[in-house]
Chains A and B, each alone.
Chain A
Amino acid sequence: MDGKSDKKLTKYFAAYFAFAVLFSVFLFLMESHHQAGVLQRELLLLAGHPELEAEIIGLWETYDNRELAALMQEQGLDAAVDTIAEKYGYRMWFGADGTFWIFWCAGMFIGAAVTAVWGGLAWRRQHKKDCFEEQLGQVCGCLLQFQRGEFGEIPTAQAGSASEEWMRLCERLRELGIYFVQLKKRLHDEEESMKALITDISHQLKTPLASLRISYELMTGGELTTQERQEFQIQGEKELQKLEALLDELVNLSRLETHMITIKPAAASLKETIAEAVGQVYMKARSKEIAIGVEMEGDIVVCHDVKWTVEAFANVLENAVKYSGTHTAVTLRVTLLAKNVLIEVEDEGMGIAKEELAKIYQRFYRGERARELVKEGAGVGLYLTRMIMERQGGTISAKRRAQRGTVFKMTLPR
Chain B
Amino acid sequence: MDTNIILQLENLVKYYGSGENLVRAVDHTSLEVERGRFTAIVGRSGSGKSTLLHLIGGLDRPDEGRVLIDGTDIFALKDERLAQFRRKKIGFVFQDYNLIASLNVWENLVLPLGLDNRRVDVAEVNAILQKIGLEDKKNAMPNVLSGGQKQRTAIARALVSKPAIILADEPTGNLDSQTEMEVMSLLKNCVQEFGQTLVMITHDETIAQMADRIIEIEDGKVV
Contact = CB atoms under 8 A, between A and B. Distances in A.
B178 interface: yes
A152 B4 CA distance: 9
A152 B178 contact: no
Given A395-B181, A409-B181, A151 B210 contact: no
Interface stretch (B21-29, B48-56, B59-67, B182-190): B182-190
A412 to B, nearest CB: 8
B102 interface: no
Interface of A is mostly: mixed
Nearest to A409: B181
A97 to B, nearest CB: 60
Interface stretch (B89-97, B106-114, B201-209): B201-209
B4 A395 contact: no
Interface residues of A, number: 27
A177 B3 contact: yes
Interface stretch (A55-63, A110-118, A354-362): A354-362
A385 to B, nearest CB: 13
B125 interface: no
A185 B36 CA distance: 12
A151 B3 contact: yes
A395 B185 contact: yes
Contacts, number: 75
Interface in B100-127: none
A393 B192 CA distance: 9
Nearest to B5: A181
Nearest to A389: B185
Contacts of A185: 4
Contacts of A397: 181, 184, 206-207, 209-210
A339 B182 contact: yes
Given A178-B3, A342-B181, A394-B185, A358 B35 contact: no
B132 interface: yes
Interface string A286-319: 0000000000000000000000000000000000
A253 to B, nearest CB: 19
B30 interface: no
Contact of B209 (A152, A357, A393, A411): A357
B35 A337 contact: no
A337 B181 contact: yes
A333 B149 CA distance: 23
B214 interface: yes
A262 to B, nearest CB: 17
B205 A358 contact: yes
A182 B36 contact: yes
A163 to B, nearest CB: 17
A413 interface: yes
B1 interface: yes
Interface of A: 151-152, 177-178, 181-182, 185, 335, 337-340, 342, 354, 357-358, 361, 393-399, 409, 411, 413
Q: What are the 8 closest A-B residue pairs judged by CB atoms, nearest first?
A: A339-B133, A337-B182, A411-B185, A338-B133, A395-B185, A399-B206, A397-B209, A181-B3
28 contacts: A178-B3, A182-B4, A337-B178, A337-B181, A338-B149, A339-B133, A339-B182, A340-B181, A342-B178, A357-B205, A357-B206, A357-B209, A358-B205, A358-B209, A361-B209, A393-B185, A393-B192, A395-B184, A395-B185, A395-B188, A395-B210, A397-B184, A397-B206, A409-B177, A411-B181, A411-B182, A411-B185, A413-B189
Interface of B: 1-4, 35-36, 131-133, 148-149, 152, 177-179, 181-182, 184-186, 188-189, 192, 205-210, 214
Given A354-B205, A397-B181, A397-B209, 20 more contacts: A178-B3, A178-B35, A181-B3, A181-B35, A182-B4, A182-B36, A335-B178, A337-B181, A337-B182, A338-B148, A338-B182, A339-B131, A340-B181, A340-B182, A340-B185, A342-B178, A395-B185, A395-B188, A399-B206, A409-B206
